Amino acid sequence: MTEIYFVLTFLFISILFVWLLFLNKKTSTLQLKKKELVKAIEENRLDEVMELIRADLNGAINSLDELKGKHEKLEKINTNNISRIGMVRFNAFNDVGGELSFALALLNEIGDGAVISVINGRQESRIYAKTIRDGKASHQLSGEERRAIIKAIKR
């Protein structure tokens, strides 16, 4: 148990050290920019001061535009990802207990995906998969499959 605490402490200290190095680098960069700015102001070179400010502002604008583009891409990708999941467990047969059968709905943001049903009996198991488009199935659904889809949509 002591070894685990030692390893965790060492890991924590290592992470703090790396974070400290990162912050030190950022601070050094800011101090350099501050020195350049103060020197330019003292020497009454306002055109250089304005150019430094403009360069920083342009860099920030470019970063913001880049982030905006990445955000839009992620939103498009997220629409297609499975993000809504609903599962209903049930007993498919009277002589089999433990709710070993289940219906699992896997849908994206707009309700497209699939519902998978697994029916477990004493001698055999069966698996069914049905396509779902806009929350509606391409085949007739069981009550458990409908409940799984409703659960997924509500999330």
DSSP 15: H
pLDDT at 1 exceeding the cut of 60 = no
Structure confidence by residue, pLDDT tens digits, 115-141: 999 998 878 889 999 999 988 888 899
Q: Record the tokens describing residue 28, joined without a space.
A: 């050094």
DSSP 140: -
What pLDDT does 118 receive?
A: 94
For the chain, which residues make up each domain, given as ranges? 2-79, 84-154
| DSSP result, 73-113 | HHHHHHHHS--EEEEEEE-SSTT--S--EEEEEEE-TTS-E
Please tell me the pTM assigned to this model: 0.54
Q: Which of 76, 91, 144 is nearest to 130 (CA)?
A: 144
